[in-house]
Structure 1
Amino acid sequence: MLTPLFERRIDRMNRGIAEGSLTARLPSGETRVLGGRAAGPAAVIELRSWRAMLRLALDGSSGWYAAWLAGEWASPDPVQLFALFTGNRAALAVEARAMGPSLLAKRVWHWLRRNHRSGSRRNIRFHYDLGNDFYEAWLDSRMNYSSAIFRGAESLEDAQAAKLRAMLERTATAPGDKILEIGCGWGPFVELAAREGRSVHGITLSTEQKAYAETRLSGHAGARFSLTDYRDVTGTYDAVASIEMAEAVGRRYWPDYLAAIARALKPGGHAALQFITYDDAMFEAYAANVDFIQRHVFPGGLLISESAFRALAAENGLLWQDQVNFGASYAETLRQWRERFDAAADADRLPAQFDAKFVDLWRYYLMYCEGGFRGGSIDVVQITLVKD
């Protein structure tokens, strides 16, 4: 009975694909080629049940994930499918948003996971305290869980080293200077800066990360770590670094985050930031929704609106300088992470407590993010903020 409605939705998707193509085998057995008007991702999908389209219509990107998990659709390369949708986001983004009671329930749930002090600790535990052995199985040897900077065909290790070097240079510090890192992860930036003579204080809310970093860097003079909320930082530093921490803050707390950076910096001090942005033209619609990542992977998170973030930085006396965008590097980072993750899963090197459903969730998450960067709806930037 609902088949004509779904077929009209397919027709609407066809009109919305300006770049790239989608070869779709429908539940009826018919094969249709959607789009194909200009160069772009060439995606292929087997739509095994119209129920997948119903899930998408009612529950957006979370519903599409549930349909994939249930085997209601399949693709030889889901990354291309995600890239196609994000590349044509002006017309197709509405297809991936929840609606009605589902959206209301998601908004209530997301509000309950907001990043006040106790909420931040809970959300960080949910994502980062899965266990150091889990992340060790597929990250690089320095445990960088953020985009590398690829300039050619170098290894992931070298590209991550290039990212850390670029961040240290942005701090404009010299040996003996003090640096605060907000959201220090497992300590790769602290390690580099301390090795080169800086005194670095890394703060995190993850007990797993702190334990790992303290053990690994116990012999490095000038490296120290604490379980500290960025809102509780005291003291003044020559520079601040923060690598992909801003996305974990949430829009309501962006002013607090930037104010904390401004308070910590000495006059003229530099803050080196790396963060993920969402297309400004579509940001409000994105922020009003609750997507697959927020629901299943990173509760409380929200990508950054560059224009809004820049305005808040200015309000805090922080001059925005030397912006570099490198979304293609993040797509490659995610591709290599997924290869390493799959290899670890195939070799049974992931911790035994994680079942097949968990492994599938993370595989989907890595593909979903890679497609977003390849399609251009999200980007990653480094900037320098200078305290006026």
Structure 2
Amino acid sequence: MTTAHPRPATHRTTAGPRTEPAGRERRPDVAAVPDASWPVRAVAASVVRRALRRLPLRVRFAEGATVGLGGPLIEVRDPRAFHARIGRHGLIGFGESYMAGEWDAPDLPGALTVLAAHAASLIPAPLQRLRGLWAQRQPAAQRNTPDGARTNISRHYDLSNDLFALFLDETLTYSCAVFRGFPADRSLLAAAQHRKIDRLLDLAGVRDGTRLLEIGTGWGELALRAAARGAHVTSLTLSREQRELALTRVREAGLADRVRIDLRDYREARGTYDAVVSVEMIEAVGAEFWPVYFRTLDQRLAPGGRVALQAITMPHDRMLATRDTHTWIQKYVFPGGLIPSTEAVEQAVRDHTGLRVARRDGFGAHYAETLRLWRERFTERAGEAAALGFDETFRRLWTFYLAYSEAGFRSGYLDVQQYLLTKEDPAR
């Protein structure tokens, strides 16, 4: 049984400079409705209404028309702008229209869950086959090269430590928790995060004296719990904001002799370790670099060692259909990100490493609950977000992101896995 590291009762984070202002002035695609001719709007309206009328939703347009089979309500306040954005920018336009306040939903995650459950059929099959012609492509500037990855990570994780502290629990853990039961109680979120972390450390065999490499530091909770077991931890991050606060937490816990946190890309890792842990990092790697990422795990792991990997996953056919498409989540939340499928993970391990997938456990329902708790807390503290300088457009962006992600897990479109990868010791 592990013991929690010591911590102060309260922990003030530091807000560093944001990489871009929070407001509309730096989001011109939200501030201005795109030019769209009447035929573009008419086609978009036809496609949208044809898709919606078959769904268990109620979509009420400002002119009075309502479509759908009944269910969660979506209110379209500005149909002209709504259809113009979707006609010009597809699902990116759908998200931008929400950010602009042109539509809303009393139960946003409920409405988005219905859409996520029917994601594969929302766009008519003929248009699906022509995706390469109409869908936006991922910008070359968001490739996760060593320099590109630093920029992409900074755009999300360096927004402000205080922003993340608004909705995360006191452990500052920004990944899926593991609960004992549902519905999850907010007061138990920190314990559920520790349960997840301990499960990963157990998978990796982390104990007194273990040399542990962590790829993706977060704000340091996993490194602290590993060090409390007696492990010697090297943790890598590309976020200056996260590193600064994680180092403070390590010092305050009296574990500086056991934890080293480097501002370094995973490709720059050196040395060998008894165990490697990486939590929801692969989603930021990009398909182009999955082979490099998994080879790094293999190269850094000593013979007989173990890798514990936590990864969000999506269906393989949807990953293949959308992997080159620029999405709303990439444009506004996770630039350069791509969620893999379980098939893609296991193929990369098989084709590019000497590792073996020894175990895989999925627990997507736990992520839906984790995101619900984060979203509710962020909504309750919207005034504090405003005081930090994050305006209404940003707050709608963040609310949509959390609800959109929750819907993915509630619908089963997304899942989250814990993998155990092992490396044979030829000497045994």
Q: Same fold (TM over 0.5)?
A: yes
Give the structure 2 partner of residue 13 of structure 1: 51
2:104 paired residue number: 74
Three-state SS of the structure 1 residue aligned to 2:296 is helix
- What are the within-5 Å matches in structure 2 for residues 1-388 of structure 1? 5=43, 8-10=46-48, 12-14=50-52, 17=55, 21-34=56-69, 42-48=71-77, 49-92=79-122, 103-104=135-136, 106-107=137-138, 109=139, 111-152=140-181, 153-154=184-185, 155-218=188-251, 219-220=254-255, 221-315=257-351, 316-346=353-383, 348=384, 352-388=388-424
Deviations along 1:163-188, whole A, 9 cap, x unmatched?
11111111113211100000111111
Size of the aligned set, in residue pairs, is 375
Identity across matched positions, percent:
39
1:278 aligned partner, one-letter code = M
**2:92 and 2:327 in contact (8 A); partners too:** yes
Contact 1:58–1:100 (8 Å) recurs in 2? no
Q: Unaligned 5+ residue runs, structure 1?
A: 37-41
- 1:81-120, Cα deviation, whole Å (9 max, x unpaired): 211111112211569999688734x43x2x2111111111
Distance 1:209 1:383 in 2: 25
1:16 and 1:91 in contact (8 A); partners too: no
Give the TM-score of the pair, scaled to structure 2. Answer: 0.82
TM-score, normalised to structure 1's length? 0.90
Q: Is the 8 A contact 1:144 1:160 kept in 2?
A: yes
Q: Which amino acid aligns with 1:79?
A: P
Residues 6 and 50 in structure 1, CA contact (< 8 A), matched pair in contact too: no
**Could you tell me how far 1:43 is from its partner in structure 2?**
2.2
Cα shift at 1:215 = 0.8
User: How has the CA–CA distance of structure 1 residues 202 and 31 changed in structure 2, closer, same or farther, with 3 Å as cutoff?
Assistant: same
The separation in 1 between residues aligned to 2:325 and 2:404, in whole angstroms, is: 17
Q: Secondary structure at the residue paired with 2:262?
A: strand
Determine helix, strand or coil for the equivalent of 2:135.
helix
Q: 1:79 to 1:249 in 2, by over 3 A?
A: same
**Residues 357, 422 of structure 2: 8 Å contact kept:** yes
Higher strand share: 1
1:330-385: CA deviation from partner (whole Å, max 9, x where unpaired): 11111110111122223x25652322222221111111111111112111111111
Q: Which residue identity does 1:260 align to in structure 2?
A: T
When the two chains are superposed, the root-mean-square deviation of aligned CA atoms in Å is 2.3
Distance 2:314 2:84 in 1: 26
Counterpart CA distance in 2 for 1:77 and 1:308 is 34
How far off is 1:69 after superposition? 2.5
Q: CA deviation at 1:50?
A: 3.8
More moved, 48-57 vs 354-363? 48-57
Unaligned runs of 5+ in 2: 1-37
